[in-house]
Amino acid sequence: MNPTDIQDIVEKSKQTRGGLIGMLQDIQARYSYLPEEALSYISEHTNRSLVDIYGVATFYKSFSLTPRGKHLCSVCLGTACHVRGAPMIAEEFERQLGIKAGQTTKDKEFTLETVNCLGACALGPIVVVDGQYFSNVKTSKVKQILSETREGLDKVEVKTDERIFPVTVSCARCNHSLMDTGYLIDDNPSIRVTVSFERKHGWLRLSSLYGSYSVEAEYEIPLNEVLDFFCPHCHSELSGASECAECGAPMVPMIVRGGGIVQICSRRGCKGHLLNLGGANI
């Protein structure tokens, strides 16, 4: 642990009048866990008692007090995934890695955790490894997922992926189609979602051509604004567990008809896209 890093994080939070959780998140992002010394440092420099900080750090599941591995595997045990056999998937991961959920392998390669719903129930059981969604996971696939992760998941990134083709998507929660055949963008049916920002709430239509960035919206959206996306049918927020590799904003997952997930960056103007067809290239 590098004390100046922690110092920077604490100073930054003081300037922006950020709270404790923000600081802990920054530290966790930096070290992938919360080192004991970091908590003591915060306590000494922000007038909070160590026991309160420790209470917050142990309250939230996303904080870890022990070092995490290089790869994070989250197995969803939410209701929808549960009924489709997710506990068996979790067990298979535990068996293959030789650890229990919540633990990290000895070689510090993998941390296994279980989560309650990743917002893509219709494609369950869901496993997310390093921000990559694996859908309809079967126990027989677990080994493959792990070996692919060891080799490095090759992401299909837009910058290297020159393909342009139309996709048909639906809400990851309710599986209702998001396609709007009555409104064409790039001569193809558009994808309609609801977005909100700065207390404004309105529709947004995206081109369904993968690789095209044409959008139209009810309100003028300032560049670099990070939007909240909602399904216009079930009104649940379209949010996932991963962040944009380019700008760090949350990624918005949608289900691709035929299997797979497309994720788009929620920041206006950012070109972060990720497409996992057929369950992440498996």
Partner 1 sequence: MINLKINGLNVSVDKGTTLLEAAQSIGFPIPTLCHKEGLTPYGACRLCVMEIGEGDRAKLVTSCTYPAEEGLKVRTASRRVLRARRMIIELLLASSPQSKTIQDIAAAHNVKQQRFRQEYEDCILCGLCVRMCKEQMMAGAIGFRGRGQDRSIGTPFDIKSEVCRLCGGCLYVCPVCSLRCTYNQPDKAICGACANLSPPCVEKEPFDDMMCYMEPCVACEIK
Residues near partner 1 (CB under 8 A): 36, 39, 49-55, 58-59, 65
Decide if residue 131 touches ligand FES (CB under 6 A): no
Q: Which span sits near ligand FES by CB under 6 A: 52-60, 119-127, 128-136, 158-166?
A: 119-127
Cα–Cα distance between 237 and 249 in angstroms, integer?
A: 15
Residue 108: Cβ within 10 Å count? 12
Among 81, 127, 206, 244, binds ligand FES (CB under 6 A): 81
User: Which residues between 155 and 214 bind ligand FES (CB under 6 A)?
Assistant: none
Decide if residue 56 touches ligand FES (CB under 6 A): no
CB of 219 to ligand FES, least distance (A): 30
CB of 48 to partner 1, least distance (A): 9
> How many CA atoms lie within 13 Å of 109's alpha carbon, on the beta-carbon side?
12
Among 121, 129, 185, 249, binds ligand FES (CB under 6 A): 121
Cα–Cα distance between 279 and 254 in angstroms, integer?
A: 13
33 contacts 22 by C-beta, under 8 angstroms: no
N-to-C CA span, the chain: 37
Q: Binding partner of residue 58 among partner 1, ligand FES, none, CB under 5 to 8 Å per kind?
A: partner 1
Task: Name the one residue in this structure whose structure tokens are 């494609």.
Answer: 123
Decide if residue 261 touches ligand FES (CB under 6 A): no
Q: Are strands 71-76 and 110-115 parallel, antiparallel or unpaired?
A: parallel
Which residues lie closer than 8 Å to 204 by C-beta, 6 or more apart? 192, 193, 194, 195, 215, 216, 217, 218, 221, 227, 229
CB of 70 to partner 1, least distance (A): 25
Among 42, 118, 169, 265, binds ligand FES (CB under 6 A): 118
Nearer to partner 1, 16 or 59 (CB): 59
Q: Binding partner of residue 55 among ligand FES, partner 1, none, CB under 5 to 8 Å per kind?
A: partner 1
Decide if residue 129 touches ligand FES (CB under 6 A): no
Query: Which residue(s) pair with 184 in the sheet?
Result: 189
Task: Name the one residue in this structure whose structure tokens are 């390669």.
Answer: 109
Among 79, 144, 147, 214, binds ligand FES (CB under 6 A): 79
CA separation, residue 69 to residues 62, 89, 216, 280, 281 (Å) = 14, 20, 41, 21, 23
Q: Which span sits near ligand FES by CB under 6 A: 1-9, 113-121, 154-162, 237-245?
A: 113-121
Instruction: Give residues in contact with ligand FES (CB under 6 A).
Output: 76, 78-81, 117-121, 124, 126
